[in-house]
């Protein structure tokens, strides 16, 4: 046999032997899933957070609107200025208002002079009435004395008739004086009412004049000022809104008004602590507490509450939550973007696992795995608690649990969970510290079946060539 024949036969034998070895290795690894694992451990503390975004808002703010008609003649502040209660903000033209006040003041002064004259006439009429009453008393005495003298024949009838005439004239004079007193009293009351009416009109005109000078109703900063000198402003009437002039914000108490998703709002309560970050102040965390939790859902697209819409919708909804900052910085401005992490729950010394390790399998899958394991002489599959009394479709009856590595197999163990943190979730029942569970990869956990053979590979994943440096 030639040499090259021998070489060819040897090479063929090596190829066949290599194929047999490769086939044997593939058959041995067939169905084996490569997974990453971790040990279950106790955590000293696990915190459940609800994260929501929103904006900075002051607790107290006011929108200044036009109080009358006219042009702005002077503005004393600009955006960002700090103002105190009572400080002047701007002036509005007041020529007509000032003239009305002066004219009405003169009218009130004239009416008050009329009251003084009426009072003098009334007092004079009262004095005249007293004099006429005295004359009547004297005439009455003379008349009564004359009656006795006339009966006794001591005076002539002419003298008696004169005394009677004097008495009647005095009586008429008293009645006339009384009527004059009543008339002058009515005139006095009328002039006094005119004075009061004039003073009321004066107060009205003074109020109109006063409203041409705008003053600050609160301590704060000028957070928004759209108007300029010379702009014409009008006041609101009925359903028409008036001209908007500026916004004043009291930044002594600052809040973060955030929108919490409807799936998380049930966990948010008053008084819960929160960590607030502000985009304009990077690298700093501000402490706060929840001081208000909205009760009306707000549509994410329109910002309207569900009670303001007449049609039902399935779009996502949010709830307003207000977090009051404990020590806000002085340079904050309303409207700054902010994010609040609200601490809704905290557990001490708990058994926790990575959230991605939690898997869900149907009861049908677990029952089939238990049957297969029994045929193979293994009984590592653990079923969840008995199914609910009402019969259901086992394909839809889902059980949550984790895969525990037992030898070279992944055993599915149902678990009960508690609060969820950012990356970990509390296990209240089903696991203990030291258990080795499957935590990755995502693809492996999604397709892993109970009682599957696994290969543990906890080495760091290799970076692609284009990411290596």
Tell me the per-residue pLDDT of 196-234, one tens digit each, with 9 for 90 and over. 999 999 999 999 899 999 999 999 889 889 999 999 999
**Do residue 342 and residue 362 come from a single domain?**
no
Give the count of domains, the chain.
3
* Residue 60: exposure state from Cβ atoms within 10 A (0-12, 13-18, ≥19): middle
Question: Is residue 274 situated within a structural domain?
Answer: yes
The pLDDT value given to residue 372: 72
Q: Looking at the domain assignment, is residue 231 inside a domain?
A: no
The verdict on 333 and 392 lying in the same domain is: no
The CA–CA distances, whole Å, from 408 to 397, 433, 447, 460, 469 equal 28, 20, 17, 21, 36
pLDDT at 281 over 70: yes
Q: Per the domain annotation, does 11 fall within a domain?
A: no
Lowest mean pLDDT: which of 277-291, 318-332, 355-369, 414-428?
A: 355-369
Domain limit, last residue, from 210, 234, 265: 210
Please give the C-alpha separations between residue 460 and each of 36, 124, 218, 454, 457, in angstroms, as whole numbers.
10, 116, 61, 18, 9
Q: Point out the domain boundary residue: 308, 325, 347.
A: 347
Domain that holds residue 298: 51-59+253-347
First CA to last CA distance, the chain: 56
Distance CA 135, CA 241 (A): 72
277 and 382 assigned to the same domain: no
CA distance 251 to 61: 9
Least confident of 101-110, 308-317, 323-332, 341-350: 308-317
* Cis, peptide link before residue 441, omega less than 30° from 0: yes
- The helix/strand count (H/E) of the chain reads as 5, 20
Confidence of residue 120 (pLDDT cuts 50, 70, 90): very high
334 and 381 inside one domain: no
Same domain, 105 and 204: yes
Residue 418 within any structural domain of the chain: yes
**Gap between the Cα atoms of 59 and 112, Å rounded:** 49
Residue 375, CA distances (Å) to 1, 68, 370, 384 in order: 55, 92, 9, 20
Compute how many other C-beta atoms are within 10 angstroms of the C-beta atom of residue 148: 10
Calculate mean pLDDT across residues 256-275.
93
Q: How far apart are CA 356 and CA 35, in angstroms?
A: 13
Domain boundary among 210, 242, 275: 210
Tokens (6 digits) for 55? 């904006």
The larger pLDDT score, comparing residue 131 to residue 7, is at: 131
On whether both 413 and 447 belong to a single domain, the answer is yes
CATH number at residue 277: 2.40.30.170
Task: Classify residue 307: in a domain, yes or no.
Answer: yes
- Residue 80 in domain: no
In a domain, 343, yes or no: yes
Q: Are residues 437 and 455 in the same domain?
A: yes
Same domain for 372 and 317, yes or no, is: no
Reported confidence tier of residue 448, pLDDT bands at 50, 70, 90: confident
6 or 185: which carries more pLDDT confidence?
185
Residue 81 covered by a domain:
no
Q: In this structure, are 381 and 455 located in the same domain?
A: yes
Distance CA 394, CA 209 (A): 81
pTM of the full structure:
0.62
Same domain, yes or no: 301 and 369: no
Q: Which residues face 253 on adjacent strands?
A: none
- CA 370 – CA 378 distance, rounded (Å): 9
> Both 296 and 379 in a single domain?
no
Domain CATH code at residue 41: 2.40.420.20
Domain identity same for 257 and 291:
yes
CA–CA dist 316, 259 (Å, integer): 12
């Amino acid at each position: 046999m030639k040499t090259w024949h021998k070489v060819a036969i040897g090479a063929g034998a090596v190829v066949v032997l290599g194929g047999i070895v490769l086939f044997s290795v593939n058959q041995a690894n067939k169905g084996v899933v490569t997974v990453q694992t971790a040990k279950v451990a106790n955590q000293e503390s696990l915190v459940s957070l609800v994260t929501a975004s929103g904006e900075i808002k002051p607790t107290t703010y006011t929108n200044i609107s036009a109080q009358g008609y006219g042009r702005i003649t002077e503005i004393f502040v600009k955006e960002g200025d700090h103002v105190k209660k009572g400080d002047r903000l701007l002036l509005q033209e007041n020529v007509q208002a000032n003239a009305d006040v002066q004219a009405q003041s003169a009218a009130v002064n004239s009416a008050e002079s009329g009251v003084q004259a009426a009072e003098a006439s009334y007092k004079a009429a009262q004095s005249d009435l007293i004099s006429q009453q005295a004359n009547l008393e004297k005439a009455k005495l003379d008349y009564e004395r004359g009656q006795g003298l006339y009966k006794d024949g001591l005076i002539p009838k002419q003298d008696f008739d004169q005394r009677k005439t004097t008495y009647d004239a005095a009586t008429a004079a008293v009645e006339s004086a009384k009527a004059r007193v009543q008339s002058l009293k009515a005139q006095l009351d009328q002039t006094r009412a005119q004075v009061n009416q004039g003073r009321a009109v004066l107060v009205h005109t003074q109020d109109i004049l006063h409203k041409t000078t705008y003053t600050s109703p609160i301590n704060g900063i000028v957070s928004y000022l759209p108007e300029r000198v010379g702009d014409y402003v009008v006041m609101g009437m009925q359903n028409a809104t008036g001209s908007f002039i500026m916004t004043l914000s009291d930044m002594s108490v600052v809040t973060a008004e955030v929108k919490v998703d409807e799936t998380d709002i049930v966990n948010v309560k008053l008084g819960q602590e929160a960590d607030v970050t502000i985009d304009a102040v990077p690298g700093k965390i501000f402490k706060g507490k929840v001081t208000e939790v909205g009760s009306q859902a707000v549509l994410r697209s329109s910002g309207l509450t569900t009670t303001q819409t007449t049609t039902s919708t399935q779009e996502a909804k949010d709830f307003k939550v207000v977090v009051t900052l404990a020590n806000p910085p002085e340079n904050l401005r309303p409207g700054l973007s902010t994010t609040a992490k609200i601490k809704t729950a905290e557990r001490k010394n708990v058994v926790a696992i990575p959230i991605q390790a939690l898997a869900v399998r149907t009861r049908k899958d677990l029952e089939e795995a238990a049957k297969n394991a029994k045929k193979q002489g293994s009984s590592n599959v653990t079923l969840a608690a008995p199914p609910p009394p009402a019969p259901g479709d086992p394909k839809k009856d889902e059980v949550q649990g984790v895969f525990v590595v037992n030898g070279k197999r992944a055993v599915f163990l149902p678990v009960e969970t508690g609060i969820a943190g950012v990356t970990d979730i509390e296990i209240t029942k089903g696991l203990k510290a030291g258990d080795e569970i499957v935590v990755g990869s995502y693809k492996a956990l999604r397709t892993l079946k109970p009682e599957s053979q696994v290969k543990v590979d906890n080495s760091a994943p290799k970076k692609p060539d284009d990411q290596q440096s």
